[in-house]
Amino acid sequence: MTQSNTPFAPQISVPATYMRGGTSKGTFFKLSDLPERCQQPGEDRDNFLMRVIGSPDPYGKQIDGLGNGSSSTSKTVILSKPDQAKSEKDSHDVNYLFGQVNIAKPMIDWGGNCGNLTAAVGACAINMGLVNADKVAASAKSGICEVRIWQQNISKTIIAHVPVYTDEQGQVQVQETGDFELDGVTFPAAEVKIEFIDPVDASSAMFPTGHLVDDFDVSGCGLDKDCVQATFINAGIPTIFMKAEDLGFNGTELQSDINGNQELLDKLETIRAKGGVAMGLFQDVSDAQKSQHIPKIAWVAPAQSYTASSGKVVDKDDIDLVVRAMSMGQLHHAMMGTAAVAIAAAATTQGTLVNQSAGNGSATQLSEVRFGHPSGTLLVGGKTELVDGRWQAKKVSMSRSARRIMVGQVFVPGDCF
DSSP 107-143: -EE-SS--HHHHHHHHHHHHHTT-S-HHHHHHTTTTT
Catalytically annotated residues? 114, 336
pTM here? 0.83
In this prediction, residue 202 has a pLDDT band, given cuts at 50, 70 and 90, of low
Quick check: helix, strand or coil at residue 410? Answer: strand
In this prediction, residue 5 has a pLDDT band, given cuts at 50, 70 and 90, of low
> pLDDT of 321-345, one tens digit each?
999 999 989 999 999 998 999 999 9
Amino acid at 399: S
Judge whether 383 and 394 are in contact, CB under 8 Å.
yes
Average pLDDT, the chain: 93
Q: Please give the distance of CA 195 from its chain centroid, rounded to a whole number.
A: 14
Which pLDDT value is given to residue 145?
98
Q: Which helix (H) or strand (E) holds 136?
A: helix 133-138
The dihedrals phi and psi of 218, each to the nearest 5 degrees, come to -115, 25
Of residues 173, 186, 196, 236, the one with CA closest to residue 401? 186
> pLDDT of 79-119, one tens digit each?
999 875 554 546 899 999 999 999 999 999 998 899 999 99
Antiparallel, parallel or unpaired: β 368-373 and 376-387: antiparallel
Cα separation of 315 and 369, whole Å?
15
Q: What is the dihedral of CA 113, 117, 118, 119, to 10 degrees?
A: 160
Beta bridge partners of 151: 96, 156
